[in-house]
């Protein structure tokens, strides 16, 4: 028996005929269905449509899958839906019933997926949405469920906008937007102030979020920003940086800035509780001011930054003395022993 009581069928033999047989054999009692590596499978409606107690549906590596349900809806009992590497799937279902118990939605490698089901915003139990590598997805909808805790969108090159009610997601704590180059607009009201972790990547994405004012996110403890094109963070006429950071930050990460030459100490001047700085793939960055290191800093990570490595490596770098008092210094995965 598979996890959750599902009958197991060899992936190499799984096809529409096998599913039809399972569907006629007490499929209404099925709770957990996992299908993996079925190159000829086109549809699972023969079992999904009658699985009245299904709470976990996991489908991976089914390159010809085009449909989940002939009824264009899913069982209301479903709590977890994972769709991975199903490149021909254009639609999950048209609409989800508002009583659906869905808590976790993960979609990865569904390159032809055009939209998410209607009614998603009415699902009061939905807490996590992960969307990776869905290159035809233009929108995740105008609204998201208000109880959402985590939203992760990565490698979705045609995604143009975020939902209008982002600022009203009062339970949202984790938000990541990585490599979504077509995003052209963000909600004018900004993000909810209760965010704790924020991951941003891409020149347009970073620029627009900076303009919204990150300093207003008073609960933010983790910030990762990356894939920018600037050689420094620009300053206003009064000499202050355009990027004001929340004073609540404990971890700050700069990732993949190929042209970054300079990090102003003014970025760090109000970060009195900052404990960790991570700098990754910034090949032209040569040094950091001592003012960038607040008194509570516990860890400095440097990775794939050859000039920084040369200047800050223990007993070799000319600037090692500036960071020697930081309790933990890690360069390219190697702890610099004190």
Q: Where are the domains of the chain?
A: 1-192, 214-338
Q: What is the torsional sign of CA 26, 31, 37, 43? A: positive
Token pair, residue 44, equals 């699972």
Assess whether pLDDT exceeds 90 at residue 301. yes
Query: Mean per-residue pLDDT for 64-85?
Result: 92
* Residues 269 and 299 sit within 8 Å (Cβ to Cβ): no
Architecture field, domain 1-192: Alpha-Beta Horseshoe (3.80)
User: Higher confidence at residue 139 or residue 59?
Assistant: 59
- pLDDT exceeds cutoff 90 at 140: no
- Of the listed ranges 163-167, 232-236, 333-337, the one predicted with least confidence: 232-236
87-128 pLDDT per residue, tens: 999 989 999 999 999 999 999 999 999 889 999 999 999 999
- Look-up of token digits 């805790």: 149
- Give the model's confidence band at 254: pLDDT under 50 very low, under 70 low, under 90 confident, else very high: very high
Q: What is the pLDDT of residue 175?
A: 93
Query: What pLDDT does residue 304 have?
Result: 96
Residue 130's pLDDT band (boundaries 50, 70, 90)? very high
Please tell me the predicted confidence (pLDDT) of residue 338.
60
What's the mean pLDDT in 144-160?
90
Choice among 2-16, 178-192, 226-240 with the minimum mean pLDDT: 2-16
Name the residue with higher pLDDT: 71 or 229: 71
Q: Rounded CA gap, 338 and 329, in Å?
A: 9
The predicted pLDDT at position 6 comes to 37
What is the C-alpha separation between 138 and 115, in angstroms, rounded?
Answer: 7
Q: Where are the beta strands (DSSP E) in 41-196?
A: 56-60, 80-84, 104-108, 128-132, 150-154, 174-178
- Residue 72 — φ and ψ, nearest 5°? 60, 35
Are 207 and 255 spatial neighbours (Cβ–Cβ below 8 Å)?
no
Q: What is the mean pLDDT of residues 309-316?
A: 90
| Contacts (Cβ under 8 Å, ≥6 apart) of 61 | 36, 37, 38, 84, 85, 86
Average pLDDT over all residues of the chain: 84
What pLDDT is stored for residue 7 in this prediction?
A: 38
Whole-number Å distance between alpha carbons of 215 and 243: 8
The pLDDT tens digits of the residues spanning 11-61 come to 334 444 455 555 455 667 788 888 988 888 888 888 888 888 899 999 999
Report d(CA 80, CA 145) in Å as an integer.
16
Which has more pLDDT, 229 or 36? 36
What is the rounded (10 degree) CA torsion for 285, 287, 292, 296? 110
CB 222 within 8 Å of CB 248: no
Predicted pLDDT of residue 165: 81
Tell me which residue has tokens 């937007």: 177
Calculate ∠ Cα 175-177-179, nearest 5°. Answer: 165
């Amino acid at each position: 028996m598979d996890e959750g009581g599902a009958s197991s069928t060899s992936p190499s033999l799984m096809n529409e005929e096998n599913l039809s047989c399972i569907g006629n054999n007490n499929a209404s009692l099925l709770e957990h269905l996992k299908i993996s590596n079925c190159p000829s499978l086109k549809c699972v409606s023969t079992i999904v449509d009658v699985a009245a107690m299904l709470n976990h549906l996991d489908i991976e590596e089914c390159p010809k899958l085009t449909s989940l349900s002939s009824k264009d809806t899913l069982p209301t009992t479903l709590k977890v839906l994972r769709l991975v590497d199903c490149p021909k799937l254009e639609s999950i279902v048209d609409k989800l019933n508002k009583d659906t118990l869905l808590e976790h939605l993960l979609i990865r490698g569904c390159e032809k997926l055009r939209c998410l089901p209607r009614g998603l915003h009415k699902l009061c139990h939905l807490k996590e949405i992960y969307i990776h590598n869905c290159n035809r997805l233009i929108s995740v909808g105008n609204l998201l469920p208000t109880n959402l805790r985590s939203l992760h969108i990565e490698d979705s090159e045609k995604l143009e906008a975020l939902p209008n009610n982002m600022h009203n997601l009062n339970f949202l704590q984790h938000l990541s937007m990585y490599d979504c180059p077509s995003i052209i607009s963000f909600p004018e009201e900004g993000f909810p102030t209760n965010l704790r972790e924020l991951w941003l990547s891409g020149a347009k994405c970073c620029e627009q979020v900076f303009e919204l004012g990150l300093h207003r996110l008073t609960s933010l403890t983790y910030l990762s920003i990356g894939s920018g094109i600037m050689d420094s963070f620009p300053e206003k006429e009064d000499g202050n940086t355009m990027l004001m950071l929340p004073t609540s930050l404990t971890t700050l990460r700069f990732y993949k800035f190929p042209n970054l030459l300079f990090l102003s100490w003014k970025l760090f001047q109000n970060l009195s509780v900052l404990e960790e700085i991570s700098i990754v793939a910034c090949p032209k960055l040569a040094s950091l001011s001592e003012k960038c290191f607040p008194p509570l800093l516990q860890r400095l990570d440097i990775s794939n930054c050859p000039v920084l490595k040369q200047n800050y490596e223990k007993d070799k770098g000319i600037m090692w003395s500036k960071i020697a008092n930081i309790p933990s210094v890690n360069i390219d995965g190697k702890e610099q022993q004190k």
